[in-house]
Structure 1
Amino acid sequence: MRKYVLEEYVLNEYNASSKAREDVSHFVLQSGFQSIAKNDKRKFRKSKFFKLLLALAIYGKLFIRLNKNDILFVQTSSKVLEGILKLKKIKNFKIIYLIHDIFPIRYDDAKAHKHEIDSEIKGLNQCDYIICHNGKMADRLEELGCTSQLIPLTIFDYKTEAFIPKDRPLTVPCICFAGNLGKSPFLEKLDLCIDPSLVQFHIYGMPKPQYSNLSYCGSLPPERLPLEINGSYGLIWEGSYEVWEENNYLRYNNPHKASLYIAAGLPIIVWSKAAVADFVREHKLGICIDSLDELEEKVTSVRQDEYQMFRANCLKLRPGLIEGIHIKKALNRILDMEEKRCRASC
């Protein structure tokens, strides 16, 4: 049983998607998988022609090298996966597919989005193992008809060498938010509502905004953020200021910024019904809120000893997180299952 990984690299535009894929490739290689090809789109993101040539080159390498019962780890786009699945039918290898984003599962009315959902599930069902974000995502995928073996990741790992100071004094609480600011309109209303004498904000990302009460701290490469980010908490929020449970993707996914904040030693503030809120509660990593209206009250009521407990728990998880413990555990679980299957069939 030979183990291969299709390495995945996308253009780094100071967002989490490129960092997450690069880190996963790194940790999978550390787990004993051999690189079979690199899906490296950093140099020609906007060229469909060169993307096509790259995909064809990848398919050629897979066809030549993969044989029956070999294992291929992929985390690529659905279009590239579609071609790999066609090769799988010919060569009969195994596929481990890691989900980064699968937006159609957010819809409560599955019938109204049947075509979109069925298209995603059809591809997943042709894979042997699916590494999904968490148990709630696994339950939702099963509910929508996914029959492949589902392995919850729990949380994404975050490769960094950044030094984390031992103490962050909690005087005036400072909340950090890092992400795509163009997709974070809630910040505009927060800028009008927040009292900077009670709670301060440090904002990281692009495009550059104009705020009155929130401090913009620039855009930094993801690998530098754990070192440079400066504050008391890290906020996980998406979309508008007002939050609705209906069709909310946070109910199922693990935002990569949760891993960033833990890697930076920052306690987390998150919507109480987000999937990652379960992880925050279980490990006592921060505060869960029902709405941004209660943000000031919740943060200012945290005692110093309580905050230091949140911080200590983040730092406790950090060593495993930056070494890839979660993806490695998922892979080991899959490989154990494959070995048992092979022994049973021999």
Structure 2
Amino acid sequence: MSNKYQFCIRFLNTTTNSAATKAIIDCNNIFSAAGYKDYTVTVWDNANRAKYFPHLFSQLLKFYRSIQRGSTVIIQYPLLSINNVFGPYFIRLLRMKKVKFYCVVHDIESLRTGGKDKAAIDKEISNLNYYDAVIVHNPSMLSWLKEHGVTTRMIPLMLFDYLVQTPANAAAPRPFSPKIVFAGNLAKSNFIYKVKEINWDFNVYGPNFKPEQSLNGNLVWRGEFSAEEVVHKMEGSFGLIWDGEKIDSFDEVLGNYLKFNNPHKCSLYLAAGLPVIVPRQSAIAAFVQANNVGLLIDNLYDLNNFRVDEASYATMQQNVLKVRDLITGGAYLQQALQAAENAGH
């Protein structure tokens, strides 16, 4: 049996209420349960470069020396500041030890920032092609990467897991009410201050709420909680996936990225037992529709035309509970990881 290792770089955020950090820690835990030794390098988010890079490269050297011949290494991608050198130097060097490298993608930076910078895209494609297998979000992301030149084996994750110690709202199913939950970094979600034209109530959760802009009777800020706490705090009938400034159309950059990525907040809502409302153009819409765990919209005005009856809502809730059991136990990443390992044999 070959040795297995996991490696990622994680900022120790000054704020702990970060979904991004939750995703990384969950992956750490799932990899550890699968027998991967953890080599996570944690750095302060305000560390100066003079201290940051020597510390990082000393940790990389330590990691390199510990890896035995014929081992398997899984990376949480992207690797922040060393993303562009990890493949050309670290992976190529360890090829001499017959080491296999897999990665699970959290973000495709060149796509997240608009997908129009050819040089950035080409560099990212080159980085990904160093790996023996790449776990991507979904078939839409897989197709985009393939079209832009990724030739290595890719495995769609389908949905990010959201590990929860005790299942949220595990008791009786909740009755339907026209109440929507929105959670996340509210700094990039100014659309919430325009929902007075929508005939639903909105409970929002997260940092950077602007009370001076909240003049709508149907918008209530419920506070800021850690990623572990918020799953137990959300009150409403649906969790909403939307971003940007507008309520009548997709945001050009943030909305475009939703066409390819799996928003971690979708996993949060499902872990909380909430059906979801997602943009019809989003990549996650295919999963929502196939599993009947929510509604699809073209814009927020569509909500004014929805008539949700108790029976259809109860069916959605039952379907959500099936998915919740999978994501709160790490099933999706376990399955993708198994596929990557099998491909390597």
After TM superposition, the score normalised by the length of structure 1 is 0.89
Give CA deviations for 1:104-147 in whole Å, capped at 9, x if unaligned: 23688x6x521111111111111111111001100000001111
- Secondary structure at the aligned position of 2:204 is classed as strand
Q: Distance in 2 between matches of 1:45 and 1:97?
A: 26
Q: Name the structure 2 match of 1:330.
A: 336
- What is residue 342 of structure 1 aligned with on the other side? none
Residue in 2 that maps onto 1:187: 192
Kept in 2: contact 1:105–1:140 (CA 8 A)? no
Letter in 2 for 1:306: S
Offset of 1:324 from its aligned partner? 0.6
The match for 1:286 among 294, 307, 322 is 294
1:100 correspondence with 2:101: no
Q: Measure how far apart 1:45 and its partner are.
A: 3.7
- Show structure 2 runs of 5+ residues with no match: none
Are positions 1:136 and 2:140 aligned together? yes
Displacement of 1:7 in angstroms is 4.7
Q: How big is each residue's C-alpha offset from its partner over 1:221-270, in whole Å with a ceiling of 9 and x where there is no partner?
A: 01111111111110000112232486611000000001000100000000
Runs of 4+ in 1 over 4 A off after TM superposition: none
1:217 corresponds in structure 2 to 222
Does the alignment pair 1:319 with 2:325?
yes
Partner Cα separation in structure 1 for residue 120 and residue 83 of structure 2? 16
Tell me the C-alpha RMSD between the 2 structures.
Answer: 1.9
Deviation of the 1:69 alpha carbon: 3.0
Residues 107 and 266 of structure 1, relative CA distance in 2, 3 Å threshold: same
Where do 1:1-346 residues align within 5 Å? 1-10=2-11, 11=13, 12-35=15-38, 37-41=39-43, 43-75=44-76, 76-85=78-87, 86-92=89-95, 93-105=99-111, 113-162=117-166, 163-164=168-169, 165-170=171-176, 172-190=177-195, 192-195=196-199, 199-210=200-211, 211=214, 212-213=216-217, 214-241=219-246, 242-244=248-250, 248-298=256-306, 301-339=307-345
Does the residue aligned with 1:202 lie in a helix, a strand or coil? Answer: strand
**1-structure distance, mates of 2:80, 2:130:** 12
Which residue identity lines up with residue 286 of structure 2 in the other structure?
D
1:15 Cα deviation from its structure 2 partner: 2.4
Deviation at 1:79, TM superposition (A): 2.7
Letter in 1 for 2:179: C
Q: TM-score under structure 2 normalisation? A: 0.89
- Preserved contact between residue 8 and residue 22 of structure 1 (Cα < 8 Å): no
Alpha-carbon deviations, 1:269-316, whole Å to 9, x = none?
Answer: 000110001110010001000111111322xx0110111111111111
Equivalent residue of 1:237, what SS? coil
Number of residue-to-residue matches in the alignment: 328
Q: Report how far residue 44 of structure 1 moved.
A: 4.7
- How much identity, in percent, do the aligned residues show? 30
Distance 1:22 1:71, change over 3 A: same
Secondary structure of 2:227's counterpart equals: coil
Distance 1:22 1:48 in 2: 24
Summarize the Cα distance change of 1:322–1:49 in structure 2 as closer, same or farther, 3 Å threshold. farther
Name the SS for the 1:127 alignment partner: coil
Q: Distance in 1 between matches of 2:251 and 2:85?
A: 36
